[in-house]
């Protein structure tokens, strides 16, 4: 089974730092989600309006993790709390 390399963008790390302050359980949820992406990066739902081959997965009940795949890399783009502004 192929293991993909995880690459974090600055946007993602900034999002994560802000969101962890308000939800301390988020850190372990993110870790679990990223571990799964190392082996199954195509499991996420495609983002139709994206110019990239962007995908998204749920992290817990309230967050979406957006990522892209490029060769053997999974590029973690950003993390958003699900609300009316998530897809704008």
**Residue 67: CATH number of its domain:** 3.30.2310.20
Give strand ranges (E) for 5-72: 5-8, 45-46, 55-59, 63-70
- Which residue range is the domain that position 18 belongs to? 5-81
The H or E element containing residue 20 is helix 10-22
Q: Is residue 18 part of a domain?
A: yes
Q: How many domains are contained in the chain?
A: 1
Q: Is residue 64 part of a domain?
A: yes
Residue pLDDT, tens place only, 56-66 = 999 988 899 99
What's the pTM? Answer: 0.86
Mean pLDDT across the chain? 88
Residue pLDDT, tens place only, 41-55 = 998 898 877 666 799
Top-confidence residue, 50 or 73:
73
Q: Is residue 45 part of a domain?
A: yes
């Amino acid at each position: 089974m192929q293991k993909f390399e995880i690459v974090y963008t600055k946007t993602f790390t900034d999002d994560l730092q802000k969101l962890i302050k308000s939800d301390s359980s988020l850190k372990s949820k993110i870790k679990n989600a990223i571990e799964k992406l190392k082996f199954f990066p195509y499991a996420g739902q495609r983002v139709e309006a994206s110019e990239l081959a962007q995908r998204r997965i749920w992290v817990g009940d309230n967050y979406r993790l957006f990522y892209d795949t490029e060769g053997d890399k999974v590029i973690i783009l950003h993390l958003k709390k699900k609300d009316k502004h998530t897809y704008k």
